[in-house]
Chain A
Amino acid sequence: NAGVTQTPKFQVLKTGQSMTLQCAQDMNHEYMSWYRQDPGMGLRLIHYSVGAGITDQGEVPNGYNVSRSTTEDFPLRLLSAAPSQTSVYFCASSYSRFETYEQYFGPGTRLTVT
């Protein structure tokens, strides 16, 4: 299994540009989520999904959209990038059916907005 994969690893955007961060998992996990990591702030939840077709907002959802059309994929869209969205983004997934509560994290996408 590849686990949780994220693309791209690095991205530089100009203010106002849009882009999609890709996240995929091959473990048949129901739960997927996106976090952003900023220095001294820990990880903060952006959006999450408990299954295909179901998404909800986390702590810091503004400026981001998500959709979950398949179990495997959970893309994060930045509609109009702002410098405040410069961060490292992590996707995570877990198999909630058996209540293991162990989340598997991808390697991250480092985004810089100029």
Chain B
Amino acid sequence: AQSVTQLGSHVSVSEGALVLLRCNYSSSVPPYLFWYVQYPNQGLQLLLKYTTGATLVKGINGFEAEFKKSETSFHLTKPSAHMSDAAEYFCAVSEEGGSEKLVFGKGTKLTVNP
């Protein structure tokens, strides 16, 4: 069964610093991978996704992620953090490669300090 591990339940960065949120997955089939963001008291919003093709995926708000099959990783990065990036971020893997059924990681809460 697919699973997702997000390293670090809380990450704190300074405004302008690099954001790196880690995600490792296990999957028995070629994975479809996603990053979602949740702002306080809101639902989840898709940041970016990897299905096939280019392994470096660009998303909204300046975020990007790189699919590394050899490392079973899909880490999320942003070169320069902004105060508005403070939120909880969830990595997810499609349960059966093309399925809409998602398995989520436990989330990483990002704090951005002025």
Which A residues contact B (CB, under 8 angstroms)? 4, 31, 33, 35, 40-45, 48, 50, 58, 90, 92, 94, 96, 99, 101-103, 105-108
Chain A interface main SS type = strand
Q: Is the CB of B102 within 8 A of A45?
A: yes
Docked Cα-Cα span, A101 to B41, in Å, equals 24
Residue of A nearest to B105 (CB): A42
Residue of A42, A45, A107 near B43 (CB, 8 A) is A107
Do A99 and B42 contact each other (CB < 8 Å), given the known contacts A40-B106, A43-B104? no
Chain B residues positioned under 8 Å from A35 (CB to CB)? 104
Residue of A33, A41, A42 near B101 (CB, 8 A) is A33
For B76-114 the 0/1 string (1 means CB < 8 A from A) is 000000000000001000100010111111110000000
Say yes or no for B29: interface residue by CB 8 A criterion. no
Q: How many residues of B contact A (CB 8 A)?
A: 24
Docked Cα-Cα span, A1 to B42, in Å, equals 18
Q: Is the CB of B44 within 8 A of A105?
A: yes
Say yes or no for B34: interface residue by CB 8 A criterion. yes
* A-contacting 9-mer, from B11-19, B45-53, B62-70: B45-53
Residue of B nearest to A4 (CB): B43
Q: Is the CB of A103 within 8 A of B46?
A: yes
Docked Cα-Cα span, A103 to B49, in Å, equals 11
User: Ordered nearest first, which 7 A-B pairs have the shortest CB separation?
Assistant: A105-B43, A42-B104, A42-B106, A105-B44, A43-B104, A31-B100, A107-B43
Q: Is the CB of A108 within 8 A of B43?
A: yes
A–B Cβ pairs within 8 angstroms, 16 of them: A31-B100, A33-B101, A35-B104, A43-B90, A43-B102, A45-B101, A90-B44, A99-B51, A101-B32, A101-B49, A101-B98, A101-B100, A102-B46, A103-B100, A108-B41, A108-B43
Docked Cα-Cα span, A41 to B43, in Å, equals 16
Give chain B nearest CB distance to A105 CB in angstroms: 4
Docked Cα-Cα span, A106 to B4, in Å, equals 23
